[in-house]
């Protein structure tokens, strides 16, 4: 989604992406915004972000805020 929007924002508008991916426009805005933040952090640290936090949290389930059934 981010790649499509970045390559051709005139064609792949938020509205079109929402329709094509069958999600709400707010979700598309959030995804695009979060991916932009991720890219900024990767540029700042000069390396891609990894999933260390998720691995750590999976190791200590007692620290999870949400418990899914």
Q: Write the DSSP string, 4-56.
A: HHHH-TTTS-HHHHHHHHT--HHHHHHHHHHHHHHHHHHHHHTS---SHHHHH
Closest CA to 1 of 14, 38, 51, 24: 14
Q: What are the structural domain ranges in the chain?
A: 2-63
The confidence score (pLDDT) of residue 69 equals 53
The predicted model gives 60-65 an average pLDDT of 67
Confidence label for 68 from pLDDT (cuts 50, 70 and 90): low
Give pLDDT tens digits for 3-61. 999 999 999 999 999 999 999 999 999 999 999 988 888 888 887 767 776 776 677 77
How high is the pLDDT of residue 11?
A: 97
Reduced to 3 states (helix: H, G, I; strand: E, B; else coil), residue 65 is: coil
What's the pLDDT at 44?
86
């Amino acid at each position: 989604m981010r790649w499509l929007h970045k390559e051709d924002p005139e064609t792949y508008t938020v509205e079109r992406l929402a329709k094509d991916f069958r999600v709400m426009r707010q979700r598309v805005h959030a995804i695009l915004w979060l991916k932009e933040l991720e890219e900024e952090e990767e540029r700042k640290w000069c390396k891609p972000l990894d999933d260390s936090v998720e691995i750590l949290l999976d190791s200590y389930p007692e620290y999870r805020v949400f418990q899914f059934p």
